[in-house]
Structure 1
Amino acid sequence: MKINWGTAIVISFIGFISFILFFVIRMSMDNRANHDLVTEEYYKAELEYQNEIDAAANAANKGNLSIKRTSQGLVLTFPTYYSTEKIKGKVSLYRPSNKHLDFDLALNLSNAHLLIPDKRLLDGRWDIKISWEYEGEAYLQKESIIY
């Protein structure tokens, strides 16, 4: 059977459309292409953003924490003028590449240091958010580190 040029164009269009549909369906079903929002309640978190800006300004004015990597893990050191008994808050560690590695730690300090153990942190990028309250005033420090 001889195929004329009109039939060849129709067959090539059908082949091209099938090729594109195959990749669209494959990518929509693939879990590697499944990207989530950073937080589930994104709009609620956006409304509370001004509180974060104020808390970050408080932390910048009163002195930031120091974050150092040691052989035992990550050490957060508060400035010495803070009374450690009055500090309440939490440390959130966010892993951009895998949300299953995210975790939070409560700030219950007996001295000016908090150690995050090395076994909890995998190599790679971590976003650290330290929010604390001291004498009724909110503080916030955010940093991105490569561990």
Structure 2
Amino acid sequence: MKINWGTGIVLAFIGFISFIMYFVVTMSTDNKYNHDLVTEDYYKQELNLQNNIYKEENAKKLKHNITYKKTNRGILLIFPENFDEKKITGKVFLYRPSNKQFDFETAISLSNHNLLIPETRLLGGRWNIIVDWNYNDTPYRFTKEIIY
């Protein structure tokens, strides 16, 4: 039996579509491929985007914003010295882009305007640090991408 050009093209299309569909189904259903979202509630976070922009603008108006140093004990966040450390409240969120299981959040508890994130909690690699903090009912936000 001879196969003409039209039949060959149709068979090639069917083969290609079958090949693509196999990979789509395999990637969608196999548990070994992890498809994590950046965040579980990204619609809710999108609604807070303008508030975050206001917080970052407030932080840019400061004479001295939060700074950080990598030490052998971890990451040291240094809050502005001209603020009363007892009035600073908020939280620090460390986000690991490569694996959400390493993400963690901690409340701000300052010692001499410093907050230490211990190196036992940090793996080597990229981290996004987000500090949402308040001072005298004024919200601020500090974000930084670091390699530890």
Structure 1: runs of 5+ lacking an equivalent: none
Partner of 1:89, secondary structure, is: strand
In structure 1, what is the equivalent of residue 103 of structure 2?
102
Q: Is the 8 A contact 1:27 1:33 kept in 2?
A: no
CA distance in 2, matches of 1:58, 1:17: 53
Structure-2 change in CA distance of 1:73 and 1:26 (3 Å): same
CA distance in 2, matches of 1:13, 1:80: 68
Segment drifting more, 98-107 vs 7-16: 7-16
In structure 1, what is the equivalent of residue 2 of structure 2?
4
In structure 2, what is the equivalent of residue 50 of structure 1?
50
CA distance in 1, matches of 2:20, 2:53: 46
Structure 2: runs of 5+ lacking an equivalent: none
The normalised TM-score by structure 2 is 0.86
Structure 1 stretches of 4+ with a deviation exceeding 6 A read none
CA distance in 2, matches of 1:18, 1:4: 23
In structure 1, what is the equivalent of residue 90 of structure 2?
89
Aligned alpha-carbon RMSD (Å): 2.0
Q: Deviations over 1:25-84 (max 9, x none)?
A: 222223425141x23222222222222111111111112111110001000011211111
Q: Is the 8 A contact 1:129 1:142 kept in 2?
A: yes
In structure 2, what is the equivalent of residue 23 of structure 1?
23
CA distance in 1, matches of 2:55, 2:11: 64
Segment drifting more, 21-30 vs 131-140: 21-30
CA distance in 2, matches of 1:5, 1:58: 72
In structure 1, what is the equivalent of residue 143 of structure 2?
142
Deviation at 1:146, TM superposition (A): 1.0
CA distance in 2, matches of 1:54, 1:21: 46
Q: Is the 8 A contact 1:93 1:103 kept in 2?
A: yes
Q: Is the 8 A contact 1:90 1:106 kept in 2?
A: yes
Deviation at 1:112, TM superposition (A): 0.9
Deviation at 1:107, TM superposition (A): 0.4
1:68-83 map, 5 Å? 68-83=69-84
Corresponding letter in the other structure for 1:25: V
Segment drifting more, 53-62 vs 87-96: 53-62
Deviation at 1:94, TM superposition (A): 0.5
Q: Is the 8 A contact 1:85 1:110 kept in 2?
A: no
In structure 1, what is the equivalent of residue 33 of structure 2?
32
The normalised TM-score by structure 1 is 0.86
Q: Deviations over 1:97-121 (max 9, x none)?
A: 1111110010021321111011111
Deviation at 1:143, TM superposition (A): 0.6
CA distance in 1, matches of 2:34, 2:18: 21
